[in-house]
């Protein structure tokens, strides 16, 4: 149905989708292509522009309908003449496509938006972007055996949290909601960004309503409209089996909450493993030392060795030298990322008695006489 005589770009072709593609398919394809042709990764600048241009139109229901009817000329600067400019002015494309500028929806780009922001000097997380709270750090002490087998541990974090009364919206739960005048309820506005590559019309989250598109007439009394409450929260941290002391766990969304419409940061938990009276660790092996009577080393026999799985019987061969290391296979620490476990390495040493009864003393004297 493209009926204009101007050069018309096939936005569907640019995004690699067919004309009946769903909104989701279009979005997915856009994200994939935008990453692929991202100039920062050596992608082609023009191609990247085209992809963004195509998505600005096909990613929007109304614009897509217009495009299906009129083709891309409807969206190109001057392409539709005066009438076009008026007719589509409400889409906010003023000076957008063609020529020097192009539009980028920063939020749709996800991480890439931040990269671009840095690249073109918008400043990631800057004015109008979805606010993100600070990340937090905490330390968690766990027992040796909890590190070996994993555990659910409680961790108390004092932080700026979502207000419980208004669920972080800042609005009184019973208040009247009105449409935000700044963005006309869209939650997003266009912001011209001058850069060395020309002018961007960055689509950003509305700063007045934080992207919600609406405002409440009464503030939440609990948080005075900030949506935030500083409070202690008890979290349950899932410590995976096999974690080592000093390793970190990231708990997404448990950092500071920045306020209405914002996204909480993440919590980074550093794990400290307490020492154990019997066991220590060498990577995924558990290491221990055991002292047994000298006679057992000389004559051989069986002993019980304590492991993280409980006692294991170990056969001591006749004439075992002091300091021999025995390996108990698979009795070590589970691999954090993968299958299997390390081993238990036990060093066998002779125990020297610090007290002897008369009989023991007599026998040892006899042995000494025999050159032992
Ligand atoms: Zn509140
Ligand atoms: Zn707004």
pLDDT of residue 109: 52
What is the distance in A from the centroid of ligand 2 to the CA of 207? 6
Give me the mean pLDDT over the 32-51 stretch: 82
Which ligand is located closest to the Cα atom of residue 221? 1
**Right CATH for 132-169+224-275 from 3.40.50.300, 3.90.700.10, 2.60.260.20, 3.30.70.1380:** 2.60.260.20
What is the distance in A from the centroid of ligand 1 to the CA of 207? 19
pLDDT of residue 89: 29
Give me the mean pLDDT over the 303-315 stretch: 97
What is the distance in A from the centroid of ligand 2 to the CA of 130? 12
CATH number of 280-369: 2.60.260.20
| 232, 157 contact by CB (below 8 A) | yes
What does the alpha-carbon distance between residue 372 and residue 352 come to, in Å, rounded to a whole number? 14
Q: 308 or 8: which carries more pLDDT confidence?
A: 308
Span 79-113, pLDDT tens digits:
333 333 333 323 333 333 333 344 555 555 544 54
CATH class of 11-99: mainly alpha
Percent of the chain with pLDDT over 90: 51
Domain with CATH 2.60.260.20 in the chain: 132-169+224-275, 280-369
Residue 22 clears pLDDT 50, i.e. is over it: yes
Q: 312 or 51: which carries more pLDDT confidence?
A: 312
pLDDT of residue 73: 63
What is the distance in A from the centroid of ligand 1 to the CA of 223? 4
Q: 173 or 341: which carries more pLDDT confidence?
A: 341
Q: Which of 309, 159, 155, 162 minimizes the C-alpha distance to 238? A: 155
Which ligand is located closest to the Cα atom of residue 261? 2
- Kindly report the average pLDDT of the chain as a whole number: 82
Question: Which residues have C-beta within 8 Å of that of residue 53, sequence separation ≥ 6?
Answer: 9, 11, 14, 75, 97, 102, 103
């Amino acid at each position: 149905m493209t009926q204009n005589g101007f050069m018309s770009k096939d936005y569907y072709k640019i995004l690699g989708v067919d004309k009946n593609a769903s909104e989701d398919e279009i979005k997915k394809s856009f994200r994939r292509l935008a990453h692929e042709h991202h100039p920062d990764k050596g992608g082609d600048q023009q191609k990247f522009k085209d992809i963004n241009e195509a998505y600005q139109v096909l990613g929007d229901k109304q614009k897509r309908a217009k495009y299906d009817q009129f083709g891309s000329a409807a969206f190109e600067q001057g392409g539709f003449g005066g009438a076009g400019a008026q007719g589509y002015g409400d889409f906010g494309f003023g000076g957008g496509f063609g020529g020097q500028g192009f539009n980028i929806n920063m939020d749709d780009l996800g991480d890439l938006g931040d990269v671009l922001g840095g690249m073109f000097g918008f400043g990631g997380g800057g004015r109008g972007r979805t606010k993100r709270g600070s990340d937090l750090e905490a330390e968690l002490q766990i027992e040796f055996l909890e590190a070996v087998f994993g555990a659910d541990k409680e961790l108390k974090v004092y932080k700026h949290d979502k207000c419980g009364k208004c669920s972080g919206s800042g609005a009184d739960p019973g208040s009247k909601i009105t449409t935000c005048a700044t963005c006309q309820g869209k939650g997003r506005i266009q912001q011209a960004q001058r850069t060395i590559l020309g002018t961007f019309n960055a689509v950003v989250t509305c700063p007045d309503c934080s992207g919600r598109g609406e405002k409440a007439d009464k503030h939440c009394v609990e948080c005075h409209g900030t949506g935030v409450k500083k409070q202690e929260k008890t979290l349950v941290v899932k410590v995976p089996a096999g974690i080592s002391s000093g390793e970190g766990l990231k708990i997404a969304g448990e950092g500071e909450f920045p306020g209405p419409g914002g996204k909480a940061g993440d919590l980074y938990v550093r794990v400290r493993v307490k020492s154990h009276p019997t066991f220590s660790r060498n990577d995924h092996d558990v290491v221990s030392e055991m002292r047994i009577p000298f006679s057992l080393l000389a004559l051989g026999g069986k002993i019980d060795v304590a492991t993280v799985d409980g006692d294991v019987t170990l056969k001591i061969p006749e004439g075992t030298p002091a300091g021999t290391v025995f390996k108990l296979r698979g009795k070590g620490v589970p691999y954090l990322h993968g299958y299997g476990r390390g081993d238990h390495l036990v060093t066998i040493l002779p125990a020297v008695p610090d007290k002897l009864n008369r009989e023991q003393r007599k026998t040892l004297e006899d042995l000494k006489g025999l050159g032992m």
